[in-house]
Homo-oligomer: A and B are copies of this chain.
Amino acid sequence: MVRFVHPARQDITLAGILAALADPARLMIVKSLIRQNECMNCTEAGPCNMAKSTLSNHFRVLREAGLIHTTKQGVEHRNAVREADINARFPGLLKSILKHADE
């Protein structure tokens, strides 16, 4: 069974995106998700040396900023970046930020 963990967020804001990506751990998570180009569960997408409650909180922030959406498949959560939605709202922004995220 696949279902959404949270309803899709209505408004994606610039401040929300910047605040979400300003944290190195969250930027790393989004980078991982984009690079893999597919869904990943929370543990494999996030930094390993971090309490799982902290990791869970970072994913919540990313969800609430509208950057990712999460579906629950069995025991794990599958996360994916909402690239289409973000690009529709802020054309070029995500690409422009992530372009520099590996240096």
A residues whose Cβ falls under 8 Å from a Cβ of B: 14-15, 18-19, 21-24, 27, 90, 92-93, 96-97, 99-101, 103
Contacts and interface: CB of A to CB of B under 8 A. Distances in A.
Q: Which of A24, A90, A100 has the most CB of B within 10 A?
A: A100
A92 B92 CA distance: 10
A100 B22 contact: no
A26 to B, nearest CB: 10
A18 to B, nearest CB: 4
A27 B18 CA distance: 10
B96 A100 contact: no
Contacts of A92: 96, 99
Contact of A97 (B19, B24, B93, B103): B93
